Structure 1
Amino acid sequence: MNPRRNVALGVGGTAVLLAALDAYVVVTVLIGIAQDVGVPINRLERVTPVVTGFLLGYVAAMPLLGQLSDRYGRRPLIHACLACFALGSVLTALAASLPMVVAGRTVQGVAGGALLPITMALVGDLWKDDERPVALGAVGAAQELGSALGPLYGAVVALLPAFSLLGVDLGGWHAIFWLNVPLAALAAVAVQRTVPASEARTGRVDVAGGALLAVALGLLVAGLYNPDPAKAVLPAWGPPLIGAGLLVAAAFVWWEIRSPVRLLDLTGVPKGPLLATLGVSFLSGAALLVTMVFVQLASQTLFGADALGGALTLAWFLGALVAGAPAGGLLTRRYGEPPVMVAGLVVATAGFWLLSGSLTGPLDLVVAGSGLGVVIAPVSSAALRVMPAAQHGVASAAVVVARMMGMLIGIAAVSAWGFYRFQSLTADLDTPLPLGVDPATYAGRLAAYTAKVQAALRVEYTEMFVATAALCVLGAAVALVVRVPAGAGRGERASRT
């Protein structure tokens, strides 16, 4: 028993939780942010970079900054990340325009994305091989807890009444990001007191690989972002940028195969099972974020809920997600990883199909959430069991990277289609004006216009959840080809108990 080591784990896990909270905290306040930076309610596609900017920075920075911590030490990198996280929070809180919000969120994402692999690497430094899985599980739990609590946390903090001091907005959604500054400072003090110092090490860092990954993801997200979806799913620059992103992604794979220093070293690892497992993580991540964003938007734009009401609706999904995770672990212990992954994704498919009809039905959200929750444990377990013990931290980070990439690409792609459908369905609608008509006539025209907009929103959200169900079907198909190493089945698991 090493109390100092456990305290260091608690501090690192808290930093991971802080970053994970902010990955999802804007889900419930997107509409408020949009209104404050001048984006009309019928052009919400323009605020998707607020979500994707954070995810892009998070995913792109995670592997490279994890390597930098190998060279320069865990504590200095954690301090640097907390400082940048606070800086990004200040930029977001001060933002008076959409580009500034996106810039602040991207800086936050870069800093937050590094905290997970650095904390996992810290576990590798302080725990022996046979003790490490439990500690890694605690870090993973902090990450999952952030995804579950983030939307509700954001909605509650945003209840703080709007007020200004010296011309600076401090209340409302701004309070979420101002609060990050003292939290990051407290975390930095705790890190300084608990995380042991380590000497800088010699060695190379795969800067080229990190740059190629960041550029590939940036091109793909930029290609899928359409600020004016009235005429087409993708903007004119979309196909060229997506093509360029795929080419750069191919260059990244080529580089990682041949480079002597790699972001993810798969030497001696059975690549087929690992890639299939990461594919399941990617697809379940896409389904997760689409749900978190569009259940909230449907609650507020279609059913008239406020931010807190939307968060409470989403809580049915998130609560089931959290409850499903340990259930998935117990089922995996008995039946193995692939069957539980398939079963969970089949249940999630049914939930999203039901959700396409109700859009916010509590029972439908519980079914979808529990299905995705069940998938969490077998995905992580399969990745750990195909990687050697010395690379368990890398394997855990790879699962999270795959999930976050799924969130990033999934929300961009599904949003592009959904917002295009809404614009095409409302293209012929003219907003009624109270000019030259009596109040009763104007009220009738406004009611008819509102009803048509609501019908278009319902079609948009319905098709998005049908698409999410299709993602789960594809995930189940990929899970069918996951193969764990021979000798790692139920008998081996039972022998360890």
Structure 2
Amino acid sequence: MTTKPEPVEALVSRSRSPRLALALLSLPSLLIAIDISVLGVALPRMAADLRPSPTELLWMNDIYGFMVGGTMVTMGAVGDRIGRRRLIVVCAAVFALASAVAAFSTAPWMIIATRAVMGIAGAAIMPASMALIGQLFPDPKRRVSAMGAYMTCFLAGMAVAPLIGGVMLQFWWWGSVFLLGVPVMVVTVLAAPRLLPESQTQVTAPIDLRSAALCLAAILSLVATLKWAVNGATVWEAVGLGAIGLVLGVLFVRRQRALEHPLVDLSLLRRPGVSRAMWVLFLTALLMGGTSIFAAFYLQSALGLAPLTAALWMVPSMIAMIIASNAGPWLGHRFQPRYVVLGGLLVMAAGFVPFALLPTGRSGIAVVVCGSVLTTAGIGAAFPFLMNDIISHAPQEQAGSAASLAQTANEIGIATGLVVLGSLATVVYRSSLSTVAGHADGSWVDGFRLAATGHDAVLLDQVRTAFVDGYRAAGLAGVVTMALVLVLFLLPERRRAA
């Protein structure tokens, strides 16, 4: 593979203002982050209207994140070949169209299909944007600041999603949350040719489609294994599909090592500092993504709050994340960044304790808010340094690949958390409900719906108690996982490298 990157001076001169270009690139990032977490607010309404099965419910919620994580590396390679600005324009248009279709879906499979398309489009936009930022700001200090601003927009999008979703559900139907993407992406399509320079490398080696297919198939196979195990599949079915996913993953890794021009350079993961930060990003994203679904169901379904009221209770965590994402870099100028990250991880670990001790009554609102503030503040302070660790430890010519791997770890972590913790909570919910009611079918969504339609106060109380038990199990899993994260972070560098 030979590359002939365009001179940086030519790229910058074609952009009327690098800051305006950064602002435009941040808009899709903000929207993509919102789309990852806004569905948690709308899901109770969607579940009541579309009546998905437990398996469909999980796919509706997490297919977007899995398609982002599973195709990001491939779409980054596509951008290198056809041009990153061109890829952003095309995928922004695709994202807008898929969002409009999702808004008027009439069946669970339509939501799953359209969100899969949106995930692929989002996977193309993010690495292309980060590659352009790296070339728009050649000065290292300005580039770090620009990357920080871009990631702050991403974190802010995840933070404000519950509030935005709550406001829209209060006044419109659940499909309105998908229409958010249409105007933003239309602006991107119209403004990108004017504000963004074109940037591409003259790559002669074609994209290895087999590697791309192996990566996506391995990820989806392993996710489907968890879904099948939770939703009544036999042991042999779950084990068989899991084995297929593992084999595909091994084949993908072996192929990358054998190819002269691999789809992703896995040697980056062996560099000191990169592997540690990658694992910390993955595990913290897993916990944040896995617990995000519970707050909306607890506030809306278990306590009966309106969507807007529930969203307003999550405003403190939104503010905490925004403040922490700016306070972290400020503290990094006064203390060693390692101590800032450690402090953020400790605060995040403390945030899962309230979830593990959640009461069933309305006093649980304060507990959920407290836990959400601590978890979002902790990851908000640590996230910029973790991203910087990955990019700074990679060779300059591989900084884009390193950023793409970091984003992939984050996106897959979020989606994996929805499956792992959602599955864990479902098992605990069914076990708890069987103990008090004598039987348990479906998920807590079905339980809340049956209790509401039948005006059955006794069933509602049983379902609420069982759901809270599942929420506590997810919180306890968060405490245990954060203990592992802290041990991983504190290990000596030479042991982590080994």
Asked if 1:373 is matched to 2:380, the reply is: yes
Q: CA deviation at 1:110?
A: 0.7
Deviates more, 1:265-274 or 1:75-84: 265-274
The structure-2 alpha-carbon separation of the partners of 1:197 and 1:338, relative to structure 1 and needing over 3 Å to count, comes to: closer
Between the aligned partners of 1:16 and 1:115, the Cα distance in structure 2 is: 8
* Alignment match, 2:79: 69
Q: Which amino acid aligns with 2:213?
A: A
Quick one: structure 1 residues 373 and 124, their matched pair in 2 at CA, closer, same or farther if it must change by over 3 Å?
closer
Measured against aligned partners, the alpha-carbon deviations of 1:162-196 in whole angstroms (never above 9, x if no partner) come to xxxxxxxxxx1112223423332222001122222
Alpha-carbon distance between aligned partners in 1 of 2:347 and 2:477, rounded to the nearest angstrom: 15
Contact 1:276 1:482 in 2 (8 A): no
State the distance in 2 between where 1:16 and 1:27 align: 19
Q: Which moved more, 1:278-287 or 1:409-418?
A: 409-418
Q: CA deviation at 1:272?
A: 4.2
- 2:425 corresponds to 1:423: no
User: Retained in 1: the 8 A contact 2:429–2:470?
Assistant: yes
Q: Alpha-carbon deviation of 1:394? A: 2.9
8 A Cα contact 2:345 2:378, kept in partner: yes
Cα contact 1:429–1:449 (8 A) shared by 2: no
Specify the alignment match of 2:473 in structure 1. Answer: 463
| Cα 1:200–1:269 shift into 2, 3 Å | closer
Structure 1 SS opposite 2:273:
helix
Which one of 149, 153, 160 corresponds to residue 164 of structure 2? 153
Residue 248 in 1 paired to residue 248 in 2? yes
Confirm whether residue 403 of structure 1 aligns to residue 413 of structure 2: no
**Structure 2 residue matching 1:304: 3-state secondary structure:** coil
- Larger mean CA deviation between 349-358 and 129-138 belongs to 129-138
Spell out, residue by residue over 1:288-329, the C-alpha distance to the aligned partner (whole angstroms, 9 max, x if none). Answer: 112221111111122112222222223333322222223332
Quick check: which one's helix share is greater? Answer: 2
Corresponding position of 2:446: none
Structure 2 residue aligned with 1:439: none
* Kept after mapping to 2: 8 A contact 1:285/1:403: yes
Q: Residue 219 of structure 1 is aligned with which of 218, 221, 227?
A: 221
Code of the residue aligned with 2:86 in structure 1: it is P
In structure 2, the residue matched to 1:354 is 354
Q: Partners of 2:30 and 2:263 in 1: how far apart?
A: 24
Summarize deviations over 1:209-228 as a string: whole Å, max 9, x none.
32221111111111111496
Q: Which moved more, 1:298-307 or 1:257-266?
A: 257-266
Q: CA deviation at 1:75?
A: 2.0
- Same amino acid, percent of matched pairs: 26
Specify the SS of the correspondent of 2:170: coil
Alignment check: 8 A CA contact 1:81 1:114 kept: yes
Tell me by how many angstroms 1:330 deviates: 3.4
For the Cα contact (< 8 Å) 2:44–2:301, is it kept in 1?
no
In 2, Cα distance between equivalents of 1:173 and 1:250 = 40
Task: State the shift of 1:73 in Å.
Answer: 0.7
Aligned to 1:84: 94
2:373 pairs with 1:387: no
Deviation at 1:416, TM superposition (A): 1.1
Q: Whole-Å Cα distance in 1 between the matches of residues 438 and 459 of structure 2?
A: 7
Counterpart CA distance in 2 for 1:14 and 1:302 is 34
Unaligned runs of 5+ in 1: 162-171, 432-443, 485-497
Q: Hey, what does 1:111 align to over in structure 2?
A: 121
Alignment match, 1:182: 183
**Runs of 5+ in structure 2 lacking a partner?**
1-11, 359-363, 441-453
Partner of 1:97: 107
Distance 2:348 2:180 in 1: 35
| C-alpha distance in 2 between matches for 1:199 and 1:330 | 35
SS in 1 for 2:197: coil
Q: 1:368–1:202: structure 2 CA closer, same or farther, 3 Å change rule?
A: closer
Structure 1 residues 214 and 336: alpha-carbon distance in aligned structure 2, compared to 1, 3 A threshold: farther
Pairwise CA distance, 1:371: 2.0
Shift in Å, 1:337? 4.2
- Higher mean alpha-carbon deviation, 417-426 vs 53-62, is at 417-426
CA distance in 2: counterparts of 1:32 and 1:227, whole angstroms: 26
Shift of residue 102, structure 1, vs aligned partner: 0.7
Structure 1: distance between partners of 2:168 and 2:297: 18
Call closer, same or farther: CA 1:228–1:344 in 2, change over 3 Å: closer
Aligned residue type for 2:42: V
* Secondary structure in structure 2 of the residue aligned to 1:29: helix
Report deviation, 1:34.
0.8
State the partner residue of 1:195: 196
The structural deviation recorded for 1:459 is 0.9
Count matched residues.
Answer: 458
CA–CA separation in structure 2 for the residues paired with 1:249 and 1:269: 16
CA distance in 2, matches of 1:191, 1:466: 45
Say which is worse superposed, 276-285 or 6-15, in terms of deviation: 6-15
After TM superposition, the structure 1 stretch with the greater mean CA deviation from structure 2, 44-53 or 467-476, is: 44-53
For residue 353 of structure 2, what is the amino acid of its counterpart? W
Deviation (angstroms), 1:466? 0.9
The CA RMSD over aligned residues, in Å, is 2.7
Q: Which residue of 2 aligns with 1:17?
A: 30
Structure 1 contact 45–227 (Cα < 8 Å) conserved = no
